[in-house]
Amino acid sequence: MKKRIAILGSTGSIGTQTLDVIAAHPDEYEVVALAAGRNTALLAEQVKRFRPRLVSCIDEESAAELREELISSGLGYKVEIEHGEHGLLQVAAHAGADMLITAIIGARGLSPTLAAIDAGIAIGLANKETLISAGHLVMESARKKRVPIIPIDSEHSAIFQCLNGGERREVKKIILTASGGAFRGRSREELVDVKVEEALQHPNWSMGAKITVDSATMVNKGLEVIEAHWLFGLAYDQIEVVIHPESIIHSMVEFVDTSIIAQMGLPDMRVPIQYALTYPQRKSGPFQSLDLVRAGKLHFYEMDEERFPCIRMAYDAGRCGGTMPTVFNAANEIAVERFLQGQISFLQIEDIIAEVMNRHTVIARPELEEILSADEWARMEARRLFA
Ligand SMILES: NC(=O)C1=CN([C@@H]2O[C@H](COP(=O)(O)OP(=O)(O)OC[C@H]3O[C@@H](n4cnc5c(N)ncnc54)[C@H](OP(=O)(O)O)[C@@H]3O)[C@@H](O)[C@H]2O)C=CC1
Ligand SMILES: CC(=O)[C@@H](O)[C@H](O)COP(=O)(O)O
Ligand SMILES: [Mn+2]
């Protein structure tokens, strides 16, 4: 029987690569539900090709556009079209799905991810912001429901692969690799006037705009530290970050006997996506092998918290816990949105995060309602600063 897959964010970087992997194994996987934002032209193509039973768009207008597009192309089967938060939840908890790939951006992925877990659907987790915002709720809920959460983020997939079959209590620490992002060779002075287009030039990966900016500010690695804390149950002191400009070693685990196991490969997100789909098996795929001789030298540098203050803020937020990581994430989401819209400068992203964290009164062990209101509060504060 084919494994039935639902995807949140099917038209994005992770969403389209997930469909590429599925297309390479047509006898193994079936797409049952898709959710996207406003790219109805691409979504219509995906519907025609993968024939899901349910599809959802961001709003009513996009849903109408999609319907129109599918009718005019003479779609030969009946697909249910939904929209908005309701549609997103319907796709996430689709009764016919075995696994949900969370490839939507931001903390808006939280409620649908919780809905899928509640419905007993396995999660292939790309949407890291969900774990930053409410890691304790997501992990607790997954444990109670015995729902597996398989990481897709390249570093976490790497750690997951290194730990395969191993005892977690034998782990001394994990080492997350960071490329250094678009501005890795530049000093802070050289960041004052950087342009949006420059921040969107990641040296090794082709990704959506938000995560590419996060990579340049090092917020991405900060989010990944908190993500690793929740996924692997490690203390923050056991999570280290090193700069590795080549993005060939995707991350490493050091065990108590000082042995280090690393997962390596060319930067291609289809590999961790496929591993999440096939786990615990491995399958071949349309991927290029790493040629170590051609790669030549690999480099590693110490993380500089003065140069990249967002990494320190992320550790602070994680160690503080409660609603602080929620606030760190929400403030960053708004700051990045404003940077992309040309409203603030690159360095003001970190100023906004720092100031909103500074103003926040933490709630320890927050319930979902408290998470959602801390998230909303942080977004409001982040919109007001430098306005
Ligand atoms: N890209 C990568 O290589 C990696 C990404 N990740 C994580 O994966 C997640 C997705 O990133 P990425 O693929 O780069 O992002 P993209 O910006 O490329 O894609 C985002 C997707 O979400 C959809 N979307 C946006 N808003 C809504 C909404 N309200 N309802 C439904 N769908 C919506 C978009 O739709 P549309 O375009 O139609 O508007 C699009 O399909 C992020 O959390 C990121 O951190 C993690 C590791 C690597
Ligand atoms: C592909 C992936 O997982 C991204 O999160 C990537 O790691 C970003 O690269 P850096 O944050 O290391 O620049
Ligand atoms: Mn990553």
Q: What is the Å distance from ligand 1's center to 105 Cα?
A: 4
Round to whole Å and give the CA distance between 229 and 237.
10
Token output for 325? 């990581």
Residue type, 139: M
Which domains are assigned to the chain?
Answer: 3-151 (3.40.50.720), 156-320 (no CATH), 321-387 (1.10.1740.10)
Minimal-distance CA residue to ligand 1 atom 6: 126
Minimal-distance CA residue to ligand 1 atom 15: 208
Round to whole Å and give the CA distance between 264 and 207.
19
**153 in contact with ligand 1, CB cutoff 6 A:** yes
Residue 318 is given by DSSP the state: H
**158 in contact with ligand 1, CB cutoff 6 A:** no
Read off the pLDDT band of 117 (50, 70, 90). Answer: very high
Per-residue pLDDT for 166 more than 80? Answer: no
Q: What is the pLDDT of residues 70-114, one digit of tens each?
A: 999 998 899 999 999 999 999 999 999 999 999 999 999 999 999
Is 39 annotated in a binding site? The answer is yes
- 21-35, 167-181, 189-203, 317-331: least confident range: 167-181
DSSP reduced 3-state for 52: coil
pTM above 0.95, yes or no: yes
Q: How many CB atoms lie under 10 A from the CB of residue 225?
A: 23
Q: What is the pLDDT of residues 118-134, one digit of tens each?
A: 999 999 999 999 999 99
Pocket test for ligand 1, best of 7, 10, 14 (most atoms within 8 A of CB): 14
Token output for 260? 């280090």
Is 128 annotated in a binding site? The answer is yes
3-state per-residue secondary structure call for 284-315: CCCCCCCCHHHHCCCCCEECCCCCCHHHHHHH
Is 208 annotated in a binding site? The answer is yes
**Mean pLDDT of the 35-46 span:** 98
Helices 324-340 and 346-359, interaxial angle, to 10°? 150
What's residue 231's pLDDT? 96
Per-residue pLDDT for 322 more than 80? Answer: yes
Contact by Cβ (8 Å): 363, 374: yes
Q: What is the Å distance from ligand 2's center to 151 Cα?
A: 13
Contact by Cβ (8 Å): 360, 374: yes
User: What does the buried/exposed string (b/e) look like for 359-381 if buried means 16 or more CB atoms within 10 Å of the residue's CB?
Assistant: ebebbeebeeebbbebbebbbeb
Per-residue pLDDT for 165 more than 90? Answer: no
**215 in contact with ligand 2, CB cutoff 6 A:** yes
| Closest atom of ligand 2 relative to the 177 alpha carbon | 12
Continuous H helices in the chain: 13-24, 40-50, 60-72, 84-92, 110-118, 129-145, 154-162, 196-199, 209-217, 219-232, 270-278, 292-295, 309-320, 324-340, 346-359, 368-384
Q: What is the pLDDT of residues 200-250, one digit of tens each?
A: 999 999 999 999 999 999 999 999 999 999 999 999 999 999 999 999 999
What's residue 31's pLDDT? 98
Is 204 annotated in a binding site? The answer is no
Read off the pLDDT band of 164 (50, 70, 90). Answer: confident
Q: Which of 129, 115, 188 is nearest to 337 (CA)?
A: 129
